[in-house]
């Protein structure tokens, strides 16, 4: 009988509006620091939406070659910065084992900044004056490719582009590559940089965004009765995944284990979630079955929780379908209340946050939860972090088009 290879997490890295780096992010989660702020990087005077969760004081040149940074998009910069932090934490020397180290980075949109600069360039200077770097900077696989080039990985190189489920799937797919023996190590995560005029305009056109412009810190309020839409965020997050045998052989410090992965499709609508909850629930139950765990063993759920009226109520129904009566006993939080909705980078960011919760001994809060919503009546860890030692946690990632994904992570007990 073949024993399935176990996959563990030995390093994490993150860049987002709550914190540039794991130490800063951990403190922000512990104190419930909001990431929302007025958008100042472009003119929003005519926009109904004037707020976002933007990364502040970020210098890509600290993480990558400055010439490469000039030729790549902001979302790739986030991916490299997060990957480098994760690799440093893991104490991983890539060069001697480069052919057994892969990269899996998801992004929902890719190089939005590059696209908008090129669009203006087209009308200002004409079709024959484009930079030869704009297409490579734009495409949504280039976050993964840039990480690979900057850090020197030569194993499997994959890029998920499944909307807001992209980086949850990037981690799950990377786990499968290690299980299959195609790599010993995978740098897995996601990056997004869509706090741009087109990003703002596009989501506003769908009436998906909060217009609480006078209260940017309080605008992202998942599960609250007064929520009026998502707050767009940006950033990146990467985890170092390793085969347990490989991590132990090199004496790595193990943070947690990826024990389950599940996927399903709603086959329903381009943007709306499954109103019955049955298809997202299947992804969660598949992940638990893959992990060999039961619903009774789950200690915490990091919800997709986008702060949209329809989405949060739908996910609450999903969790009730999965957990039954126990749904009221399982702590659930949406850290998008702090980071905003980072689109394709959301799932990886939330997986990193789950690792922080397990290793640091607290459940991050859902901030701005002030008015109970009868449709959202679970324990959402309101407003204040809660001391806890979760052992088995779930991280949900759902994307436009009906992409449902779920990871089950477990605290490492040695």
Model pLDDT for residues 87-129, shown as the tens digit of each residue:
999 999 999 999 999 999 999 999 888 888 877 777 777 777 7
Mean pLDDT of 43-57: 95
Residue 90, pLDDT score: 98
Query: Which residues in 102-136 are b (16+ Cβ under 10 Å) and which e?
Result: bbbbbbbbbbbbbbebbeeeeeeeeeeeeeeebeb
Contacts (Cβ under 8 Å, ≥6 apart) of 27: 19, 33
What CATH number corresponds to the domain at position 369?
A: 3.40.47.10
**132 versus 390: which is more confidently predicted?**
390
Is 2 contained in some domain? no
Domains of the chain: total? 2
**Residue 407 backbone phi and psi in degrees, to 5:** -115, 140
pLDDT at res. 274: 83
Is residue 303 domain-shared with residue 197, that is, in the same domain? Answer: no
Using one digit for the tens of pLDDT, what is the confidence trace for 335-359? Answer: 999 999 999 999 999 999 999 999 9
Instruction: Kindly report, residue by residue over 176-231, the tens digit of the pLDDT.
Output: 999 999 999 999 999 999 999 999 999 988 899 999 999 999 999 999 999 999 99
Residue 155 pLDDT exceeds 70: yes
Query: From the CB of residue 379, how many other CB atoms can be counted at a distance below 10 Å?
Result: 16
Claim to verify: residue 80 and residue 191 sit in the same structural domain: yes
More confident residue, 236 or 124: 236
Whether residue 254 is contained in a domain is answered as: no
Is the distance from CB of 203 to CB of 232 less than 8 angstroms?
yes
How would you classify residue 6: left for phi > 0, otherwise alpha for psi between -120 and 50, otherwise beta?
A: beta
Select from 249, 280, 314 the last residue of a domain: 249
Q: Which two tokens stand for residue 348?
A: 């990886």
Q: What is the pLDDT of residue 134?
A: 76
Q: What is the predicted pLDDT for the residue at 175?
A: 98
Closest CA to 322 of 330, 334, 310: 330
Pair 176, 288 in one domain: no
DSSP 109-140: S--HHHHHHHHHHHHHH-TT---TTHHHHHST
- Confidence (pLDDT) at 124: 76
Task: Inform me whether the pLDDT recorded for 414 exceeds 90.
Answer: no
Kindly state the average pLDDT of the residues 387-409. Answer: 96
Alpha helices in 211-345, H assignment, sequence order: 244-249, 278-291, 309-323, 336-339
Q: Final residue of a domain: which of 194, 221, 249?
A: 249
Nearest CA to 309 out of 192, 178, 182, 210 is that of 210
Q: Are residues 92 and 153 in contact, defined by beta-carbon separation less than 8 angstroms?
A: no
Looking at residue 96, what is its pLDDT? Answer: 98
The structure tokens listed for 120 are 């203006």
Last residue of a domain, one of 200, 216, 249: 249
Among the residue ranges 54-68, 78-92, 128-142, 344-358, the one predicted with the least confidence is 128-142
Do 25 and 108 fall within a single domain?
yes
Q: Which domain holds residue 369?
A: 259-411
Strand partners, 315: none
- pTM of the predicted model as reported, rounded to 2 decimal places: 0.96
Q: Please check whether residues 290 and 237 belong to one and the same domain.
A: no
Judgement on whether residues 156 and 237 belong to the same structural domain of the protein: yes
CA distances from 349 to 65, 164, 201, 333 (A): 24, 11, 24, 14
Q: How confident is the model at residue 1 (pLDDT cuts 50, 70, 90)?
A: low
In sequence order, what are the residues at sequence separation of 6 or more whose Cβ sits closer than 8 angstroms to the Cβ of residue 289?
260, 262
% of the chain residues with pLDDT over 70: 99
Q: Are residues 290 and 407 in the same domain?
A: yes
Percent of the chain with pLDDT over 90: 86
Q: Rounded to 10 degrees, what is the CA torsion of 350, 53, 311, 376?
A: 80
The answer on 49 and 19 residing in a single domain is yes
| Alpha-carbon distances, residue 199 vs 52, 115, 232, 360 (angstroms) | 11, 11, 8, 34
Domain shared by 164 and 64, yes or no:
yes
The chain-wide mean pLDDT, for the chain, equals 95
Residues annotated as catalytic are 164, 304, 341
């Amino acid at each position: 009988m073949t024993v399935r290879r176990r996959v563990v997490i030995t390093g994490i890295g993150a860049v987002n509006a709550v914190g540039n780096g794991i130490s800063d992010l951990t403190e922000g989660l512990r104190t419930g620091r909001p990431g929302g702020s007025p958008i100042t990087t472009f003119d929003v005077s005519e926009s109904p939406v004037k707020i976002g969760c933007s990364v502040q004081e970020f210098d890509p040149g600290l993480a990558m070659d400055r010439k490469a940074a000039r030729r790549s998009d902001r979302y790739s910069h986030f991916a490299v910065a997060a990957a480098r932090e994760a690799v440093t934490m893991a104490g991983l020397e890539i060069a001697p084992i480069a052919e057994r180290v892969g990269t899996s980075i998801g992004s929902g949109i890719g190089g939005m900044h590059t696209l908008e600069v090129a669009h203006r360039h087209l009308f200002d200077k004409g079709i024959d004056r484009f930079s030869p770097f704009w297409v490579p900077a734009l495409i949504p696989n280039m976050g993964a490719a840039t990480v690979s080039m900057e850090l020197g990985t030569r194993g499997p190189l994959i890029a998920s582009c499944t909307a807001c489920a992209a980086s949850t799937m990037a981690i799950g797919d990377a786990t499968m590559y290690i299980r299959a023996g195609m790599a010993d190590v995978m740098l897995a995560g996601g990056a997004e940089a869509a706090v741009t005029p087109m990003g703002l305009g596009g989501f506003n056109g769908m009436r998906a965004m909060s217009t609480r412009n006078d209260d940017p810190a309080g605008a992202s309020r998942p599960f609250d009765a007064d929520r009026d839409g998502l707050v767009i965020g940006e950033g990146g997050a990467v985890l170092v995944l390793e085969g347990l045998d490989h991590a132990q052989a090199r004496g790595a410090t193990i943070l947690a284990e990826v024990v389950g992965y599940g996927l399903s499709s709603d086959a329903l609508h381009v943007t709306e979630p499954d109103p019955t909850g049955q298809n997202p629930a299947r992804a969660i139950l598949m992940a638990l079955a893959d992990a060999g765990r039961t619903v009774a063993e789950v200690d915490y759920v990091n919800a997709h929780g986008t702060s949209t009226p329809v989405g949060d109520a739908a996910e609450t129904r999903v969790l009730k379908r999965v957990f039954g009566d126990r749904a009221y006993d399982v702590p659930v939080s949406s850290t998008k209340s702090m980071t905003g909705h980072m689109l394709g980078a959301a799932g990886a960011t939330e997986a990193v946050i789950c690792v922080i919760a397990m290793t640091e001994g607290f459940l991050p809060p859902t901030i701005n939860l002030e008015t109970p919503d009868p449709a959202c009546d679970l324990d959402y860890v309101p407003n204040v972090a809660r001391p806890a030692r979760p052992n088995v946690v779930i991280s949900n990632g759902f994307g436009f088009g009906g992409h449902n994904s779920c990871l089950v992570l477990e605290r490492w007990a040695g």
